[in-house]
Chain A
Amino acid sequence: DGGITQSPKYLFRKEGQNVTLSCEQNLNHDAMYWYRQDPGQGLRLIYYSQIVNDFQKGDIAEGYSVSREKKESFPLTVTSAQKNPTAFYLCASSIDVQLPTDTQYFGPGTRLTVL
């Protein structure tokens, strides 16, 4: 069954701790993305990766870090430098971010709460 998995669905952390969110895809897509969503708002791009071992900052990258060591995996670390980390985090993947017809497919999301 092809798709994107994110784990865990809910995550709680204490303020000042780093936390890593998992994202895995078995769609054989080259591109992967991380978005953040706050209540009542649209999604905002944190980081994206076109291919393995490459990634680019999105609109709100401060306080976040990523790695892309494998095609299937694109973990996101929320560091203690992120001022307001409580949010809904969504991972997506697509075939080729350089195509105008590139369709992104989203995972189920991880809701992070920092106490």
Chain B
Amino acid sequence: DAKTTQPPSMDCAEGRAANLPCNHSTISGNEYVYWYRQIHSQGPQYIIHGLKNNETNEMASLIITEDRKSSTLILPHATLRDTAVYYCIVPRSTTSGTYKYIFGTGTRLKVLA
């Protein structure tokens, strides 16, 4: 039960914005939305996270809808090096008081020259 739904694949032209959607309709009030990406045969790389306000850092922007049921990761000017699998994660609280990451299969983004 990944708690998030993402399209399996997307293409984006180099230099254009890449908009990656994620549905998390069962998110709870204090649960954050996290985004990671994994380039082939490497460890996942943290990108950004947010609760309800839009967030921006040097890598990307995160837009969370007002009802918090979905979000969009935006890579403003995609390059070939952004080709990767992107994971949207909502850490789930457990009965032991810890937060657990559940990884789905993510979105495979291919940036085209």
The yes or no answer to A106 lying at the interface (CB within 8 A) is: yes
How far apart are B52's CB and chain A's nearest CB, in angstroms? 13
User: What chain A residues lie within 8 Å of B14 (beta carbons)?
Assistant: none
Q: Are A100 and B31 within 8 A (Cβ)? A: yes
Q: Are A109 and B105 within 8 A (Cβ)? A: no
User: What chain A residues lie within 8 Å of B41 (beta carbons)?
Assistant: 88, 109, 111
List the one stretch of A43-51, A62-70, A72-80 in contact with chain B: A43-51
Give the most central of B43, B44, B104, B105: most A CB within 10 Å: B43
Residue of B nearest to A6 (CB): B43
Bound: A102/B99 CA distance, A: 8
User: What chain A residues lie within 8 Å of B34 (beta carbons)?
Assistant: 103
How far apart are A98's CB and chain B's nearest CB, in angstroms? 5
B residues at A contact (CB < 8 Å): 2, 30-32, 34, 36, 41-46, 49, 87, 91, 93, 96-101, 103-106
A residues at B contact (CB < 8 Å): 4, 35, 40-45, 48, 50, 56, 88, 90, 92, 97-109, 111
